[in-house]
Amino acid sequence: MIDPLSARSLLLNIVAKNDIVGSATGFIVEKEKKPFLITNWHVVTGRNPDTDDLVLERIPDELQIIHHVLGQLGKWTVRSEDLYLPGGKPCWREHALGKKFDVVALPIESIDNMIVIYSMDMSLADTDIIAQPAMPVSIIGFPYGLATAGAWPIWKTGHIASDPDLDYDGRPAFLIDATTRGGMSGSPVVLRLSGGYNTKNGKQILAGGIATKFLGVYSGRIHADAEIGMVWRPHVINEILENI
């Protein structure tokens, strides 16, 4: 059995002048049946959004997306997406506040009849679970570009490290404590519980199967020497797509 969420995370090769200069993670969200790759601003620009310093050897101009092959679960094919139009305009869409929010939506143009899209169900963000500090979370991505059985993602486990409803650094994000590594930028972060959680109306669920809540987009550690990472809330994705 393969978890359905494992099909949502996609391995990305970051390309500059035909050379692979890094790896990352992304996932697809659809708006009006149009697919958009969700990942981080620093992935598509190669720059730190706060300092503008380079985080890659070179500025990327292309993403290679490892897509699922239609009708052949466990098989993949590579498609490239340009990051800039011929005139130099970025192809990706940012939040209205720009790089202050380290999340982008890149329109997927290289779709053909060989590819199947498993898009993220954004309604999982509304699952009636109150997320609280110390709860376990899963970051579903590709540390150092590593994968299992081809291009299936690796589930890294951590814990919520700050109150999820409190903004970190004045931005719509919260913190997690997890041993994440390079290549996981752009990973979806989920909370999965099988009982013993509170709902918004004050009920406590003691049993009742597995519940999954989409918590947002991982964008890396806040300090090189700390295992504390940043997660952007789902409404950031919605706000980007609403302005398209």
Examine the domain organization and report whether 63 and 139 are in the same domain.
no
Q: What is the pLDDT of residue 208?
A: 61
Rounded Cα gap, residues 22 and 10, in angstroms: 14
Residue 145 belongs to domain with CATH number: 2.40.10.10
Q: What is the pLDDT of residue 203?
A: 64
Q: What is the pLDDT of residue 200?
A: 74
123 Cβ neighbours under 8 A, 6+ residues apart: none
- DSSP structural state of residue 103: -
Contact 22, 182 (CB under 8 A): yes
Q: What is the pLDDT of residue 1?
A: 87
Q: What is the pLDDT of residue 243?
A: 85
Q: What is the pLDDT of residue 210?
A: 83
Examine the domain organization and report whether 8 and 112 are in the same domain.
yes
Q: What is the pLDDT of residue 166?
A: 97
Examine the domain organization and report whether 184 and 229 are in the same domain.
yes
Domain closes at, from 72, 95, 116: 116
Domain closes at, from 116, 142, 161: 116
Which residue positions in the chain have pLDDT lower than 50?
Answer: none
151-159, Cβ contacts within 8 angstroms, sequence gap of 24 or more? 151/10, 151/11, 151/66, 151/76, 152/2, 152/6, 153/6, 153/9, 153/11, 153/25, 153/187, 155/6, 156/180, 156/184, 158/227, 158/229, 159/133, 159/134, 159/135
Rounded Cα gap, residues 168 and 77, in angstroms: 38
How many domains does one find in the chain?
Answer: 2
Domain closes at, from 47, 82, 116: 116
Range of the domain at 148: 122-242
Q: What is the pLDDT of residue 197?
A: 66
